[in-house]
Amino acid sequence: MNATFVELKERLHEIWDLNKIGWLLGWDQSTMMPKRGSAARGEHLATIARLSHQRFTSDEIGSLLSQLESYEASLPPESDDASLIRVARDDWQKIRKVPSELAAEIARAGAAGYQAWTKAREENDFAAFLPYLESMIELKRRYVACFPDVAEPYDALLDDYERGLTAAEVTAVFDQVRDAIVPLVKHVTANADKVDDSPLRGSFPAEQQLQLAMSVIPRWGFDPLSWRLDPTVHPFASSISTQDIRITTRYDEAYLGTSFFGTLHEMGHGLYEHGISPALERTLLCRGVSLSVHESQSRMWENLVGRSRPFWTFAHPLAADVFPDHFANVNADAVWRAANKMGPSLIRVEADELTYSLHIILRFEIEQSLFNGDLKASDLPEVWNAKMRDYLGIDVPNDSAGVLQDVHWSEGLLGYFPTYALGTIIASQIWERILVDLPDIDRQMAAGEFDALRGWLVEHLHRHGRKFTPKETIARIAGGTITPEPYVRYLTAKVTELYGAPPVTR
């Protein structure tokens, strides 16, 4: 083997290990760590992040990468080695464009912003948060300036989460989705009484909720030798390695849906990381290719599987075993309907499958205007509330339930939101292909058989990790670019089934 490549790989392994140690510390902080450990933990995480950043941005990595140009050219582009060199070079060139002082300043502003946001949200005080937001936006403008080639400023922000995608491409997709969904929301609002979610409400002790989850997810591949499920406040999935996947959940003892569907969602993220080829372990190819594609996996398992009728044929008897009194007089169809109750609401993380994307589109439009100079941060509450009225037909009673509800902006995660909705859209595109390749999928799900579906996803998506770009990956698995039609078809069919046919709009 090429000695220079061996050296590069050893360095990348070391950096990867540092990052994964950081992830493990982060998982521990959110699940196990005693509260007073947080100050020291912040230092531990900062040290790990600094070491990893220094090692990766070093001149030595750059020099190894240029020495490897002819070796790379001698390999098939899809080989593991050529892919690693290519992706490492892309990452290295990108990170070198941002001065480390600016990166550090953004990290510090994010920590201060998070503190300020927590307090401002609690006290419903947007004005107190505004200066932090303004200085974050200013820092992010400096960040954008590091990428002079972008067509518009927002492209540089989006690229951090969805490499290569532009705001113009997102706008084209979101405009169609918004125009299709807004009338559906009106229809659902006018027919709200057609769907009753009381079958999922009542008294559900956390211990039994865990028992129910553990009767479902082992069928999806959750194996205690490779996985953990633990409670936390803000659920997430974290992969320490492909054989060490940590998922988390939050129990609401009055509503079964929070933890149940949340666990299915995180399971979808976990399955993606678990399915990456072992040959890519400990390299920067060993992760999901982008946030949108990652979210396509979580949304698919949560919604296209977990909120489908066939799934509840399988899961209803399991729920009735765990909660015999509650489900004695509730049939599978009633649970399926309850799991799909839709309607406008104020809070994004509680939104249903239909309205969720509108929450995202609103945020995307606002973020884009902030960076195009059409919108000042001080005007955010007013614009937010107006869009909530236009898209969802509801009035925002206060900023805590409005513009202050999400943590993202406080930490500098600008450009992140679109990936949530894009993932949902991609999931529907993939699902249409699965229906062709696995025509028997409904029968399988009703019988609690998920191996063929998992196998399909590993074969077509999971095993490749980051070998291909996000756009190439989406083309391979969905047959083209991101298109909203399958998602709109899916939502329209579901709304029609549950709420009756929507009036035809022209």
- Please give the positions annotated as active site: 266
DSSP string, 194-251: G---GGGBS---HHHHHHHHHHHGGGGT--TTTEEEEE-SS--EEEEETTEEEEEE--
Of 399 and 406, nearer to Zn ion (C-beta) is 406
Contacts made by residues 250-256, CB under 8 angstroms, sequence distance 24+: 251/206, 251/209, 251/210, 253/203, 253/204, 253/205, 253/206, 253/209, 254/201, 254/202, 254/203, 254/204, 255/200, 255/201, 255/204, 256/200, 256/201, 256/202, 256/204, 256/209, 256/212, 256/319
If one asks whether residue 239 binds Zn ion (CB under 5 A), the answer comes out as: no
CA separation for the pair 502, 485 (Å, rounded):
17
Closer residue to Zn ion (CB): 248 or 298: 298
Distance in Å from the first CA to the final CA of the chain: 63
- Specify whether the CB–CB gap between 83 and 283 falls below 8 A: no
CB 195 within 8 A of CB 498: yes
- Minimum CB separation of residue 420 from Zn ion in Å reads 7
List beta partners, residue 238: 246
CB of 266 to Zn ion, least distance (A): 7
- The three-state secondary structure class of 118 is helix
Q: Which two tokens stand for residue 247?
A: 């998922």
Q: Which residues contact 318 (CB under 8 A, 6 or more apart)?
A: 212, 215, 216
Q: Which of 83, 239, 258, 298 binds Zn ion (CB under 5 A)?
A: 298
DSSP 254: T
Alpha-carbon distance of 436 to 324, in angstroms, equals 37
Instruction: Point out which span in 92-100, 156-164, 246-254, 296-304 binds Zn ion (CB under 5 A).
Output: 296-304
Q: Which two tokens stand for residue 96?
A: 């070198």
CB of 139 to Zn ion, least distance (A): 26
Nearer to Zn ion, 64 or 421 (CB): 421
Q: Which lies closer to Zn ion via its Cβ, residue 360 or residue 495?
A: 360
In sequence order, the 6+-apart residues with CB closer than 8 A to the CB of 196 are 334, 337, 338, 341
CB of 349 to Zn ion, least distance (A): 10
Residue 249, strand partner residues: 231
Q: Is 344 helix (H, G, I), strand (E, B) or coil?
A: coil
Instruction: Show the DSSP H helices in 243-290 as ranges.
Output: 256-274
Residues forming a β-bridge with 227: 245
Q: How many residues bind Zn ion (CB under 5 A)?
A: 1
What's the closest the beta carbon of residue 269 comes to Zn ion, in angstroms? 6
Q: Which stretch binds Zn ion (CB under 5 A): 202-210, 298-306, 333-341, 387-395?
A: 298-306
Q: Which stretch binds Zn ion (CB under 5 A): 28-36, 92-100, 153-161, 294-302?
A: 294-302
Using Cβ positions, the residue closest to Zn ion within the complex turns out to be 298
In whole angstroms, the minimum distance from the beta carbon of 423 to Zn ion comes to: 7
Closer CB to Zn ion, 337 or 359, in the complex: 359
> Given the complex with Zn ion, which of 68 and 300 has the nearer CB atom?
300
How far is it, in rounded angstroms, from Cα 410 to Cα 115?
8
CA–CA dist 483, 383 (Å, integer)? 28
Nearer of residues 5 and 260 to Zn ion, judged by Cβ: 260
Minimum distance of Zn ion from residue 487's CB (angstroms):
16
Report in angstroms how near the CB of residue 377 gets to Zn ion at its nearest. Answer: 27
Choose between 298 and 340: whose C-beta lies nearer to Zn ion.
Answer: 298
Tell which residue, 111, 110, 84, has the closest CA to residue 15: 84
Binding mask 252-291 for Zn ion (x = CB under 5 A): ----------------------------------------
Helix (H) or strand (E) holding 161: none
**Nearer CB in complex with Zn ion: 234/506:** 234
Residues that bind Zn ion (CB under 5 A): 298
